[in-house]
Amino acid sequence: MTARILDGNKIRDEIKAELAEQINDLKRSGITPGLAAVLVGENPASQIYVRSKVKTCETLGIYSEKIELPTQTTTEQLLALIDRFNLREEIDGILVQLPLPSQIDTKRVLMAVDPAKDVDGFHPINVGHLVSGRPGLVPCTPAGIIEILVRSQIPIKGARAVIVGRSDIVGKPVAILLMHNHATITVCHSRTRDLPAVAREGDILIAAMGKAAYITGDFIKPGATVIDVGQNLLKTAEELRRVFHDPTEPLKQLEAKGSVLVGDVQPEDMKEKSGAYTPVPGGVGPLTIAMLMVNTVQAARLRRGMRAHNTS
């Protein structure tokens, strides 16, 4: 039986179409959601991400401002900018693109963002709302994972879900969201004993540890749903030969593009053993920006005392 591909691009487009209607409704009430995107330094990947986020805002009719600051920006200078955005009524969401240059205190910066405008969902107040099941702003990638599962009609209620990776950005929040959806959760990490055996218990397996193709067929329960959050760029033929059983096509891609994007799950094993899986690219990635837009619209509603809108 062929594994089903969970198409993140298709689900992203569904969400964007629904959001466009919500935004038009808000505009008829005189409200235009607004997002400020702050980029510090010249990290090429961050520049691409921020450009993509601003372009998506334009497509949907969300007001956006992009602020680019030099690499040598200090913590105090960045805090002063965030204070100004906190006070501006037309800005509903503040996005500070990570990673920040090493001299900046990232935790202080993220704590300075008004929780009502924290569209990344990283502020402790929003984390508290997430844990207690109150309406709020949820981290974008975990929210996107739930959208993929729900919209693909993957049963969550009663399922065993195993998460490999315990980061504050993905692992912990997706565990809480799955618990709210009545799954039984196991969160694994580098010190988990016999990790492959624990992972094989998962009806749903979520890989989010940032190691290229670390999860092999030994970790996958036959027929499980595999959600691969990893985004790892491989740039040498040696790396590709180490990762792929048959590196023929990836080697051609390397020659043409200079790099190959792979997830945290060995892609050939994932196709062979899973019942359904998210590809890399084209799986979880497209949902992250879509859910940032959802959070911006949610923030616009919640800040004005309106009810939160369920996406799925």
Per-residue pLDDT of the chain in tens (312 residues, 90 and over written 9): 789 999 999 999 999 999 999 999 999 999 999 999 999 999 888 999 999 999 999 999 999 999 999 999 999 999 999 999 999 999 999 999 999 999 999 999 999 999 999 999 999 999 999 999 998 899 999 999 999 999 999 999 999 999 999 999 999 999 999 999 999 999 999 899 999 999 999 999 999 999 999 999 999 999 999 999 999 999 999 999 999 999 999 999 999 999 999 999 999 999 999 999 999 999 999 999 999 999 999 999 999 988 766 655
- The answer as to whether 135 is a domain residue is no
Q: What is the pLDDT of residue 306?
A: 82
Q: What is the pLDDT of residue 44?
A: 87
Q: What is the pLDDT of residue 135?
A: 86
- The answer as to whether 309 is a domain residue is no
User: Domain containing 264 — which CATH number?
Assistant: 3.40.50.720
Spell out where 135-224 has E strands. Answer: 160-164, 184-188, 204-207
- The answer as to whether 296 is a domain residue is no
Catalytic residue among 92, 114, 120, 264: 120
Give yes or no: residues 54 and 149 share one domain: no
Q: What is the pLDDT of residue 310?
A: 64
Q: What is the pLDDT of residue 305?
A: 86
Range of the domain at 67: 29-120
Catalytic residue among 22, 92, 97, 264: 97
Q: What is the pLDDT of residue 312?
A: 52
The answer to whether 253 is a known catalytic residue is no
Q: What is the pLDDT of residue 183?
A: 98
Give yes or no: residues 33 and 68 share one domain: yes
User: Domain containing 116 — which CATH number?
Assistant: 3.40.50.10860
- The answer as to whether 82 is a domain residue is yes
Q: Who's near 84: CB < 8 A, 6+ residues apart? A: none
The answer to whether 264 is a known catalytic residue is no
- For 216, phi then psi, to 5°, come to -105, -175
Number of domains in the chain: 2
DSSP assignments along 27-73, one per residue: HHTT---EEEEEEES--HHHHHHHHHHHHHHHHHT-EEEEEEE-TT-
- The answer as to whether 302 is a domain residue is no
The answer to whether 157 is a known catalytic residue is no
Give yes or no: residues 55 and 163 share one domain: no
Catalytic residue among 22, 53, 264, 273: 53
Please give the Cα distance from 92 to 178 (Å, whole number): 27
